[in-house]
């Protein structure tokens, strides 16, 4: 039996989301069909608000309600610490530990030649400009995920940072999160205790 166009169209939209396969997309759509209309309307309104009421902070590139974000505006945050992460969810995971009081820089991904992602696709030029303007930074924490791509990105950043430091006659302590994180894991799924230990046990890189 051929699916109704409205049903098929929504299934296709759900399939565009990460980790949503054909079967999961179908289950979501048929769940919404059976659910009270208010649920679908509330979901539609929430999605609309998501796009209308959020921005990307032009300092750290985190998701925010306004630019700059609350972390970049907070005078109590430590200007000498800069933590580099892949995505906003990684910064959120670190924030939940309550043990980090520095600033963030969101790369927007990792180097992945197989997926066509080179350093040019990441916010590395923005990082360079930010470091050039901010002489207060003393330590840079490379908090990319402990995956092959995350490690490759951290190594690339380490080399870039060394070159910039030499050119600018600057000195930063470059650290990497401790190995409390499992290889191949992702920050957003790590528990708070593991992340806290990884932050506290970070090592020179």
**DSSP H or E run through 175:** strand 173-176
pLDDT tens for each residue of 105-160: 999 999 999 989 999 999 999 999 999 998 899 999 999 998 889 999 999 999 99
In the CATH hierarchy, which top-level class contains the domain 60-204?
A: alpha beta
For the chain, first and last CA: distance in Å? 59
DSSP string over 39-90: HHHHHHHHHHHHHHS-EE-TTT--EESSSS-HHHH-TTS-TTEEEEESSHHH
Q: Is omega for the bond preceding 68 within 30 degrees of 0, making it cis?
A: yes
Give the model's pLDDT for residue 180: 64
pLDDT (tens digit per residue) in 31-67: 999 999 999 999 999 999 999 999 999 999 999 999 9
Question: What was the pLDDT predicted at 191?
Answer: 73
**φ, ψ for residue 84 (rounded to 5)?**
-100, 120
- What's the mean per-residue pLDDT of the chain? 92
Q: How far is CA 73 from the centre of its chain?
A: 19
Please tell me the distance from the alpha carbon of residue 145 to that of residue 186, in angstroms, as a whole number: 5
List the domain boundaries for the chain.
Answer: 5-52, 60-204
Please tell me whether residue 165 adopts helix, strand or coil conformation.
helix
| CATH number for the domain formed by residue range(s) 5-52 | 1.10.8.420
pTM across the whole model: 0.82
The DSSP letter of residue 117 is B
């Amino acid at each position: 039996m051929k699916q109704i166009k409205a049903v098929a169209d929504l299934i296709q939209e759900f399939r565009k989301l990460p980790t949503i396969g054909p079967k999961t997309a179908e289950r979501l759509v048929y769940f919404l069909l059976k659910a009270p209309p208010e649920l679908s309307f509330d979901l539609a309104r929430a999605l609309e608000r998501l796009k209308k009421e959020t921005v990307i902070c032009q300092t750290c590139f985190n998701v925010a309600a306004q630019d700059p974000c609350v972390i970049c505006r907070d005078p109590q945050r430590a200007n000498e610490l800069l933590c580099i992460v892949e995505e906003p969810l990684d910064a959120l995971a670190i924030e939940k530990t309550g043990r980090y009081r520095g600033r963030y820089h969101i790369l927007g991904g990792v180097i992945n030649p197989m997926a066509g992602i080179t350093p040019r696709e990441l916010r590395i030029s923005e990082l360079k400009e930010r470091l050039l303007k901010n002489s207060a930074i003393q330590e840079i924490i490379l908090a990319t995920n402990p995956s092959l791509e995350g490690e490759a990105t951290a190594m690339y950043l380490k080399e870039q940072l060394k070159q910039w430091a030499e050119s600018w006659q600057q000195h930063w302590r470059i650290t990497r999160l401790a190995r409390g994180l499992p290889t191949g894991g992702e920050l957003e799924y790590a528990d708070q205790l593991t992340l806290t230990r990884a932050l506290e046990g970070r090592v020179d890189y």
